[in-house]
Each structure stands twice: as C-alpha cells, then as structure tokens.
A and B are shown apart, each in its own frame.
Chain A
Amino acid sequence: MAAVIDEECCTGCGACEAACPGDVIYMDHERGVAVVRYPDECWFCCSCRLECPRDCISIVFPMSIVP
C-alpha cells in the first residue's frame, strides 16, 4: 500500500499526477481517474495529497512500515 486514491471521490483532474515527484501516479483516461501505478515506489511524501482539490487521497502504510 502507499498513497491510496478514492476513485469515487476522484474527478480525474490530474493534479496528483503532475505533483508526484516519482512518476508513481498515472491518469486512467478511459475511466477518468488517477491511479497509483507503482505503489512500491511511493515515498509517502504526500505531494499528491497536498494538491488534491477534493481531499481524495490517504496514506496507508504497508506492514513492513506499520506496525
């Protein structure tokens, strides 16, 4: 797990994709939502969450980190 995007909430604006410093998030243009394509490469920096205008992104740590 990593940054997790709530697809019900996402409007596909692309702000998170543009903000991610690791090229981890890609737009799924067919479905009109953003997708965390490379969760193993997430830095947990929250640049995406900071830029999301609708607060659709949460951070869920993998079990190697929490607990």
Chain B
Amino acid sequence: MRVPEILETEVDVVVVGAGSTGGMAALSARQAGATVALVDKAGIYRSGCGAAGEDHFVAVLELGEDWDTPEAFLRWYNGLTQGLCNPKVVENSFLRHIRWLVSYLEDLGIPMRLGREGDGYIRTGSYSAPGRYWINFDGRDLPPRVAAEARKAGVAFFPKRAVTDLLVEEDRLAGLLAVEYRTGRLHLFRCKAVVLGTGNVCRMYDNPSGEPFNLWNSPFNTGLGHKVAFEAGAKVANMEFIGFNITPKNFGSPGLAGLMGMGAHIVNAAGERIVFKYHPLGEKGPRWALCQAVYWETKEGRGPCYIDARHLAEADMEHLLTRLLPVDKKSFNDYLRQKGLDLRKDLLEVEVTGGEIPAMVGQLSGILVDESMSTTLPGLYAAGGCALAMGSLSGSMCGGITAGRSAAAFAARAGSPPEPRRAHLEELASRALAPMERKQDGISFREFEDKLRQIMSRYVGVGRTAKGLTTAIEELSWLEGMVPRLQAADGHELMRCLEARELLAVSRMIARGALVREESRFGLSHYRGDFPEPREEWHKSILQQKVGGSVEISFQPPYAL
C-alpha cells in the first residue's frame, strides 16, 4: 500500500495515556523544564479508569497514629504483595509525594475533606491494611482539573491518537508512531524519552453479563504500554497474576472498597458470613481473599452471594449512597434504581468478575521499573497500572510525578533522538493501517476479541493446568496468525483493531507466565489445579523479555525491606 504523509512533532518527552498517571507525568516533566506531548486515544480531560473521577484516595498523612507513617505503610504493602513489588519503587513514588499531592489537590479545589469533625478527612480501612489509609473524597472534577494545569504549564495535547509502535534505533529510543484514527492520518513523535501511563489491561476475559465493555475498570485500557514496551525489549513481570473483583450482578462497577470500608458483610444464600472461612480477617482481608470466598461458595452450591449492608448506621448508609458508590461509578445509583434495590432493606447480589491485569493497591504485575520508574530500556519510563508499581488513583498519580521528572532529567542529558529509518517507519505504518485497506474476507475486531476471550476464559482464567495452558498458547499463537485478516470499516474500528492486537499481546504474556509458574498463589489470581498450593521455591517474580525472536524467562527473588 502507499503510506500517506506522516505528520511530525518533536519534543523532549512524550507521555502516552492521559489518565491519572499520564496527567501528572506530563505536568511534572513540563515543570522540570522538558517540552512535553501528551498523547491519548480518547480525549485528554477524561481518560483511563478514573475518567469520571473516583471516591477513594489512598494516602499516608502522618497525622500521629502509628499506622499513619511511611514505615508502617511499607511494611504492610510489602506483606500484601509478598515482596514481589519493589518497595523502593513505592517509597520513591507514593510515599515520597503523597502528602504534597493531597495538599496540591486541595489547592486545586478538589473536595478532600468531606467530614464535619476534626481535620475533616473521612478515612476508612480495607483489604487487610493496619489503618485507615483510604480517604473518602469527591474526585469527580479531578481529571479535568489536573489536565487543565498541565495545559496551563505548556503541555501540548494530542487527543484521538492511537499509538501503534515505539521506535527504537540501535537500542536507542527514537520516538513513537500514532494514528489519528478519525482522519486516518499518521503522526510521528520524535522524542528523547517516553512515559507510559497506559493503565491496567481489561477486556481479555468473558464477564458474567456477556457485555465485553461492561467492566469495573476501563474497557478502553487494552495493554498498549505492555505491548510496545515488551516489543521494544523491556522486561515485564508476573504477568500470570490476574486480578478479580466482586461486583453487583451483571454490572461492571467498582465499589467494593467503599462497601467493605463502611463495614458491609458478604453472605451466601443461607445468610452466613463467608469470608472468615477463607481468611482470618474476613471482609477486612485482601481483595483476592474476598473473591476466593464468593467464587468457591458459588461453585460449591452455596450461592448466590450477596453484600449485606442493612446493618449500617443511617449516617454511614447516607455517606455510602451519596458520597462513595455514585462517585466510584457514576451510574451506580441508576443501577440500583432500575433494579428497584434499596441497600437499607435489600441484599445486593454480587458475583466474581472476569480477570484483568489490575491497577490497584497491591498489584503484582506489569512492566518492570526501578525506583526512578525507568524500565529496562533507557529513556522508557512507566508508572501506574501498567508498571510493577503501586496502582490505584493516588499511587498512579505519585508514580506519574516520579516518572515525569525522571524522563525530563533523562531528556536533559540525552542527545538528539536518532532519525527513524524511513523504510521501517513505512512498514510499521502500513501494518497499522492494514485493517482499513482490507475490503473483503476480513474479520472484525469483535469476532477476533470474542475468540481471544473464549481461549483466555477457558484455559487461562481460574483453574489452570499445564495441559490447558499449552493449548491456550497454541491457540493464541494461531490467533496471532489472524491479525493480518483484521478488517475495519472506519477509523473507530481501526482503533479497536489496534486494541485487539494489544489484548492478544498481553494475553500471550499471561499464558506464558502461568505455564512457567508451577504453584498457586494469591487465591484465584493464579490457581493451578496441578500445583494447588504455594511453593516456597516459586516465591519470586517471573520476568519475561523479548530477545531477538524469542522470549527469555528470568527470575527475581522477593524484595525484603
């Protein structure tokens, strides 16, 4: 095909993804003196999992209680992740910036203090934490406010651009290629450093409602960062650990932290509280233990399971229904209303979601980064949900600050980026645009993705075996062969075809890692029926790296404090 003209922009730093990580990364890199482009396939002002704002902000404020210190948090976090997430990463991002970030958001006018007493913070605890690290706040305006600050600081915005590839010339980062998909124009960004803030990875597994976009995290997060980093030679870690959540029946919505934080219970069909059977902390245990409880109760014939919040005091219920649930998911109350449910009187039927590579407190997998948020490829940085770092809104924002500053510092000492080879660029461009060129006998992104979800749900979900994983790897490899047949009728479908490629790339990482890890760990996250218990020799991270045409596996022992 004839490759159309390619637009060019040259800056010091390109930030990919304008969600909670990317917004702060772009602002921080710009404030550190770099010229910055912020690129996103959506708009810039509302993007990523927190597009419409969130209700919880994990924070250590050092206000006097013994759990409210960096040391106590780090001790807990290292236990929660079993040492698989580098504590220096958490220390140099979240713990370094969190107090400043909370006051910065207050200065921007974000309501952080919803309480009437004392300092005004309402803080709750969830997921086995030793204290009340979750500030209940009203984050609906947070994404556009931070984006406006980035724009004011001079960050250049490039919305509606789907990034297709990172450009690496002789082991040096040269920039990246994107498609302005609504017009079909190609856009080359030449730069010295890149920050990936592309979040978690969803849409790889069937979900109970059968609606692939009806997910608790953003269905538009499809693994771009993981894919391009891996292809450029960066290492990824622990991809076999997928995450689950408990959501209202058929409704992909977060809200569990709020419900558990306020003291709701999880019960089975007989009305028995079930989580204590699976974890000594019950509903205050880690998220994976809650999922395990609902999963097995249902599988073993004691379901359906419910969240019971009927015993909450009226003030707590009011807070939950007006401040937490409808902020965490803006359509939560629409769901309750259209179902005719009143949490004061009714049980809320819940279910375990499909898997995803999650972005949360205690996430275990992602692109491997050091404490400067540098990947193993010089000039390439990653933070938030796509990195093996602390996710969640506040963890991602703090990681973005560290990554943005590191990228600006790298750019300041780097020479001009190498010139991308024209022939290579045109090859990548023509591959990216191929679905638009195909006019017949193609397959739609939806058909392709449905096949992907079928394979992943059957063999790489809960209950894995060597035999099943080997089958999955073969079938995913067959699906890779179908990529050239993807067909798009318009720019929107082209963007979805690019997402389908990303989903496949991440799915292959998950299946590969799951076959290597011959044990079970973190409940449903990696449950091997042929190795049903954790094994001490496997208490380590599994790293994957593309070297030449093949993938090398290596290991990283758990981090001690």
Contacts and interface: CB of A to CB of B under 8 A. Distances in A.
A66 to B, nearest CB: 5
A14 B41 CA distance: 17
A21 B209 contact: no
Given A22-B220, A23-B42, A64 B250 contact: yes
Given A61-B334, A67-B339, A20 B43 contact: yes
Contacts of A19: 43, 45-46, 51
A41 to B, nearest CB: 5
Given A46-B330, A46-B331, A65-B250, A23 B211 contact: no
A21 B338 contact: no
Interface in A39-57: 40-47, 49-51
B452 to A, nearest CB: 16
B42 A21 contact: yes
Contact of B220 (A43, A59, A65): A43
Given A66-B250, A67-B339, A23 B219 contact: no
Given A45-B330, A50-B330, A51-B46, A23 B209 contact: no
Contacts of A59: 331, 334
Given A41-B213, A65-B211, A47 B51 contact: yes
A18 interface: yes
B301 interface: no
A54 to B, nearest CB: 17
B220 A62 contact: no
A59 B334 CA distance: 7
B250 A22 contact: no
B335 A61 contact: yes
A19 B159 CA distance: 11
Interface residues of B, number: 36
A50 B492 CA distance: 23
B118 to A, nearest CB: 30
A23 B42 CA distance: 6
A22 to B, nearest CB: 5
B430 interface: no
A61 B339 CA distance: 10
A45 B335 CA distance: 12
A59 B326 CA distance: 13
Which of A22, A37, A43, A49 is most buried by chain B, counting CB atoms within 10 A of its CB? A43
Contacts of B47: 21
Secondary structure dominating the interface of A: loop
A40 B330 contact: no
A43 B219 CA distance: 7
Given A62-B211, A64-B211, A66-B338, A47 B46 contact: yes
A46 to B, nearest CB: 3
B187 interface: no
B214 A44 contact: yes
A18 B211 contact: no
B549 interface: no
Interface string B209-249: 11101110011100000000000000000000000000000
A45 B42 contact: no
A61 B211 CA distance: 11
A49 B46 CA distance: 12
A43 B492 CA distance: 16
B220 A21 contact: yes
Contacts of B338: 60-61, 66-67
Interface string B163-185: 00000000000000000001000
A41 B211 CA distance: 8
Given A43-B218, A64-B211, A66-B250, A23 B335 contact: no
Given A64-B210, A65-B214, A23 B492 contact: yes
A46 B52 contact: yes
B140 interface: yes
A41 B41 CA distance: 15
Given A45-B329, A64-B250, A65-B251, A21 B218 contact: yes
Contact of A45 (B52, B159, B182): B52
A47 B219 contact: no
A40 B46 contact: no
Interface of A: 18-23, 37-38, 40-47, 49-51, 58-62, 64-67
The 4 lowest CB-CB distance pairs between A and B, nearest first, are A46-B330, A21-B51, A47-B46, A44-B331
Given A44-B334, A47-B51, A59-B334, 11 more contacts: A19-B43, A19-B51, A40-B213, A43-B215, A46-B330, A46-B331, A47-B330, A50-B53, A50-B330, A62-B211, A66-B335
15 contacts: A18-B43, A20-B43, A21-B46, A21-B47, A23-B182, A40-B213, A43-B213, A43-B220, A43-B252, A45-B330, A50-B330, A64-B214, A65-B250, A65-B251, A66-B251
